[in-house]
Structure 1
Amino acid sequence: MPDSELLMKLAVIIATFGRKEQLAQLLVHLERQERLPDEVVVSAPDETHVPVYEPRVFPISIVLGRRGLCAQRNRALEQVLERFDVITFFDDDFIPKDDYLRLVELAFQEHEDWAVVMGHVVKDGARTAGLSWAEGLQVLAAEPSKMPVKPKIVDHVGAYGCNMSIRMKFVGELRFDERLVLYGWQEDIDFTSQLRRFGRVIGLNTLRGVHLGLKIGRVSGERFGYSQIINPTYLMRKGTVPASFALPLIGRNIAANLVRSLWPEPYVDRRGRLRGNLIALAHLLKGRIEPEYIQKIAA
């Protein structure tokens, strides 16, 4: 392995909104990484979303500006361009295993044709009522006995944004699409799918972590329901995701909201999502595809 590959610089980017306490816990947790980040960049709308944190083992940069996941990630990207070989995006409610960044670096060193690498979410609280920080740590603590013997490598259309790493030399002028406002939804697939022309987009089961799926800082059910239909349609028309990915996703969303609106989960606003779905379908019938319309829907 060339010496130059041993000197990779790796930054972690965390876009955050309304989760100051969780972000503080994540920053402290990152100090346990076997391979420390060379820098952590936190992107927030303003200082009220950022905890007081004294850097001890890695430098930290704070960038402030307009609210919205795509806008916040783009501001952070501007901070790291041409300074790092790899960037890892973590959601502010994702807890990585302590070997996560070491294995990310190793993956990019050993596979020059990999453009994007995402890890395996051991447990995803986004699919349930969500997990507390203590519950997430308990899940990770039980992991050693379940570690895969052999790495499993799977190609994907795009990466799940709660934990994804990107080879920076491929990014260039590419940015997250800021028409996908607020929560963004599918912005991760849109961004990373465009990197497939440079290299493989890989899911790697040895990279492991827990996504708490916190409900604070999320958009309303109606807004999210609108995005469930419009965002995949917009990306399909844009050409960054295939119909074979977008149409089944839309169908599953509508079906789930229709069925579960009769007996909704206490932690999901199914009826709000269904209303958002119906507004989006009405817009599609009129040929109206505007992801940013959710800003006109009540929060």
Structure 2
Amino acid sequence: MKIAVGIATSGRRAVLSEMLDYLARQIRTPDAIYLCPASDDDIDLDIGLSLDLGVPVHLVHGERGLCAQRNAILDAAAGYDLISFFDDDFLPKTCFLSRAERLFTDNSDIVVATGKVLADGIHGAGLSVSEAVAILEADVGDDANEPHRSVFNAYGCNMTFRMTAILDVGARFDENLPLYGWQEDVDFCRRLPARGTIVRCPALRGVHLGHKSGRISGLRFGYSQVANPLYLVGKGTVGLRWALRLMACNVGANILGSLASQTIIDRRGRLKGNLIAISDLLLRRLRPQRILEIGSAMPKS
């Protein structure tokens, strides 16, 4: 199989360089790496040469925003059999791509696979690259031989797709989900079940740093926590019960978090964004793109 790795990046220049250096240690190296930065400042333009990756590195240009950047990568990598989308702060274990290739070769029905995240810094202050490497090197893979199982969607930090399935349905990441594109992984994956199975495979292992640079403000993220699930309901991607459960969990966590001392997670900012989105819902102007208009307060309209 020909395997491409796609990485959309924003605001994490130093972390990206370390991630790529680790990616080059794959037992089965990718046939190419496609990088799409939000701006030229997000990447060393000669990164492939400076890191001596031993893999062709292609720089792709797309509009700012995770979905638009990933679409630009899809267009550039259309000729590959598999594409693994990794977040710019995700470190895949050195056997990740070799096991992904085996998984898709042995199971022609699989169209999407996501791996086991051994540690996820998104839930706290984040992890350093050295911490992530230590976790990966200490992993003995006790459950790596467990069978894969069907899941609703892949986790956006590591998603491997069979390219023919994407091309068959003309799947695209929805650019109406701007900036961070929250829940874009769910929306994209749910385009593909008619072509095969979405699985979680314990043999595919990695660590998500959850790096805080490059993320949107708490206010904007809080707005997306309400706007994006309801938008997906309107599209028919997910059911209303799924969206309400997700929203209830997030709004509840923000309420409780707002009562405590503030940590690295801006719960009060997120709660304010939740409330603005609920207000917009009542005023019939709720849409994901409104986060582009949010500053310290919503503009009059």
User: Does 2:119 match 1:126?
Assistant: no
Shift of 1:26: 1.3
Indicate the residue corresponding to 1:38 in structure 2: 31
Shift of 1:45: 2.2
Indicate the residue corresponding to 1:80 in structure 2: 77
Seen in structure 2, the aligned counterparts of structure 1 residues 39 and 277 have a Cα distance that, compared at 3 Å, is same
Shift of 1:22: 0.9
Contact preservation (8 Å) 1:261, 1:270: yes
Indicate the residue corresponding to 1:29 in structure 2: 22
Matches within 5 A, 1:1-299: 8-51=1-44, 52-53=46-47, 54=49, 55-81=52-78, 83-144=79-140, 146-148=141-143, 150-172=145-167, 173-298=170-295
Seen in structure 2, the aligned counterparts of structure 1 residues 264 and 236 have a Cα distance that, compared at 3 Å, is farther
Shift of 1:244: 3.4
- Amino acid in structure 2 at the alignment position of 1:117: A
| TM-score between both structures, scaled by the size of structure 2 | 0.93
Q: Structure 1 CA distance, aligned partners of 2:234 and 2:284?
A: 12
Shift of 1:242: 2.2
Shift of 1:260: 1.0
- Amino acid in structure 2 at the alignment position of 1:19: R
Q: Structure 2 CA distance, aligned partners of 1:105 and 1:257?
A: 40
- Amino acid in structure 2 at the alignment position of 1:112: S
- Amino acid in structure 2 at the alignment position of 1:118: T
Q: Structure 1 CA distance, aligned partners of 2:193 and 2:101?
A: 19
Deviations 1:189-226 (A, max 9, x none): 10011111111110111111000000000000000000
Contact preservation (8 Å) 1:12, 1:90: yes
Shift of 1:117: 0.2
Contact preservation (8 Å) 2:224, 2:291: yes
Contact preservation (8 Å) 2:144, 2:203: no
Contact preservation (8 Å) 1:47, 1:64: no
Q: What is the DSSP-based 3-state SS (H/G/I as helix, E as strand, rest coil) of the residue aligned with 2:84?
A: strand
- Amino acid in structure 2 at the alignment position of 1:42: L
Shift of 1:149: 5.6
Q: Structure 2 CA distance, aligned partners of 1:155 and 1:288?
A: 36
Q: Structure 1 CA distance, aligned partners of 2:187 and 2:244?
A: 15
- Amino acid in structure 2 at the alignment position of 1:137: V
48-57 or 271-280, larger mean C-alpha shift:
48-57
Shift of 1:150: 3.0
Q: Structure 1 CA distance, aligned partners of 2:144 and 2:73?
A: 36
246-255 or 259-268, larger mean C-alpha shift:
259-268
Shift of 1:31: 1.4
Shift of 1:284: 1.3
**Where do 4+ consecutive residues of structure 1 move more than 2 Å?**
242-245, 286-289
Q: What is the DSSP-based 3-state SS (H/G/I as helix, E as strand, rest coil) of the residue aligned with 1:229?
A: helix
Seen in structure 2, the aligned counterparts of structure 1 residues 34 and 261 have a Cα distance that, compared at 3 Å, is same
Q: Structure 2 CA distance, aligned partners of 1:194 and 1:149?
A: 28
- In the alignment, structure 1 segments of 5+ residues that lack a partner are 1-7
| TM-score between both structures, scaled by the size of structure 1 | 0.94
Q: Structure 2 CA distance, aligned partners of 1:23 and 1:149?
A: 27
Q: Structure 2 CA distance, aligned partners of 1:256 and 1:225?
A: 11
Q: Structure 2 CA distance, aligned partners of 1:56 and 1:254?
A: 43
| Identity, % of aligned positions | 45
Contact preservation (8 Å) 1:46, 1:65: no
Q: What is the DSSP-based 3-state SS (H/G/I as helix, E as strand, rest coil) of the residue aligned with 2:135?
A: helix
Q: What is the DSSP-based 3-state SS (H/G/I as helix, E as strand, rest coil) of the residue aligned with 2:190?
A: helix
Deviations 1:211-260 (A, max 9, x none): 00000000000000000011001001101122232211011011000111
